């Protein structure tokens, strides 16, 4: 597995623009090679700026783009914490995005049921073969505790090696979460992390330069066997990296 690439940008706005260019390139390449572009969207707040930019690009071949999710909170899409709700606000409300190509996790279901339901959705989308689904691109964020998607430190989801999608309760959040598992994440062709803000500096340094166990820093478990990992970080998030890496 190739070491992660890091690009340090001036600010969160520049991170969003760098990620936009990657999405556009990846979409072009995937559609040229396989006729479709299948991407898993990140939740949280950082990616909203990217989704706002994407929502300005009606010229993208949206009919050939499958929008999936890397994880979801166990809430309905109308809930303030819903990732699907955030993506709807910033991107999928656009009329040029076919709704039949938006595959949200049904957070309104009981979490374990939502995970099983989403796995069936992905099996239908990718074909029900036993092979792992290979996303063209997976967008991820980084929590200030080193989590990514809904893979939280010392959580049962970290140990799932068979299911494509799993769920678990996250005590620190008093919330059930549904998430793609490491096998699916690490089958991706490309993974892009979007990281911005001072509060991510410790976690980013632990991911890129630390030696903690994956159980402690789950983002360290993102290591696609035949794919690439790129971090787009702003200067504030990169401020604790060694000089040759920090801004
Ligand atoms: C979620 C995300 C989660 C997020 C990080 C960073 O559902 O919250 O999947 O992994 O990417 O917590 O969140 P921010 O971008 O809000 O800092």
Q: Could you report the average pLDDT of every consecutive run of 10 residues in the chain (247 residues)?
A: 92 98 98 98 98 98 98 98 98 98 98 98 88 97 98 98 96 94 98 98 98 98 97 98 74
Question: CB atoms < 10 A from the CB of 1, how many?
Answer: 12
- Rounded Cα distance between 36 and 46, Å, is 26
> Mutation test of ligand 1: which of 15, 16, 19, 43 has the most ligand atoms closer than 8 Å to its C-beta?
43
CB of 167 closer than 8 Å to CB of 114: yes
CB of 148 closer than 8 Å to CB of 141: yes
Pocket lining: 42 vs ligand 1, CB cutoff 6 Å? yes
* pLDDT given at position 160: 98
* pLDDT given at position 246: 54
The ligand 1 atom nearest the CA atom of 42: 9
* pLDDT given at position 193: 99
The ligand 1 atom nearest the CA atom of 73: 7
Question: CB atoms < 10 A from the CB of 100, how many?
Answer: 8
- Rounded Cα distance between 80 and 86, Å, is 8
Q: Minimal CA–CA distance to 167: which of 116, 98, 132?
A: 116
Pocket lining: 177 vs ligand 1, CB cutoff 6 Å? no
**pTM value > 0.95:** yes
* pLDDT given at position 15: 98
Start-to-end CA span in the chain (Å): 25
Residue 44 gets the label, from left (phi > 0), alpha (psi -120 to 50) or beta, of left
Backbone angles phi, psi at 41, to 5 degrees: -85, 145
Distance 38 CA to ligand 1 centre (A): 20
Residue appearing with tokens 């792992």: 132
Residue appearing with tokens 């969160």: 12
Pocket lining: 107 vs ligand 1, CB cutoff 6 Å? no
Pocket lining: 234 vs ligand 1, CB cutoff 6 Å? no
Distance 45 CA to ligand 1 centre (A): 6
Pocket lining: 149 vs ligand 1, CB cutoff 6 Å? yes
> Mutation test of ligand 1: which of 42, 155, 220 has the most ligand atoms closer than 8 Å to its C-beta?
42
């Amino acid at each position: 597995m190739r070491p992660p690439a890091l690009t340090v940008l001036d600010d969160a706005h520049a991170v969003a623009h760098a990620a936009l260019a990657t999405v556009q390139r990846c979409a072009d390449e995937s559609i040229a090679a396989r006729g479709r572009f299948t991407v898993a969207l990140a939740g949280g707040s950082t990616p909203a700026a990217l989704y706002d930019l994407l929502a300005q690009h009606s010229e993208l071949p949206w009919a050939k783009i499958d929008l999936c999710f890397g994880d979801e909170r166990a809430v309905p899409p109308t809930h303030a914490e819903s990732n699907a709700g955030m993506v709807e606000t910033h991107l999928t409300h656009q009329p040029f995005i076919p709704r039949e190509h938006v595959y949200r996790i049904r957070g309104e279901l009981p979490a374990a049921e939502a995970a099983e339901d989403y796995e069936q959705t992905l099996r239908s989308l990718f074909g029900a073969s036993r092979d792992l689904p290979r996303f063209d691109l997976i967008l991820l964020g980084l929590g200030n505790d080193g989590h990514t998607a809904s893979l939280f430190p010392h959580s049962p989801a970290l140990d799932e090696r068979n299911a494509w999608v799993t769920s678990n309760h996250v005590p620190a959040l008093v919330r059930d979460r549904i998430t793609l598992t490491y096998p699916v994440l690490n089958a991706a062709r490309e993974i892009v992390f979007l990281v911005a803000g001072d509060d991510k500096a410790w976690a980013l340094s632990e991911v890129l330069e630390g030696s903690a166990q994956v159980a402690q820093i789950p983002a360290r478990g993102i290591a696609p066997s035949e794919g690439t990992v790129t971090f787009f970080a702003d200067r504030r998030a990169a401020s604790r990296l060694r000089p040759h890496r920090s801004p």
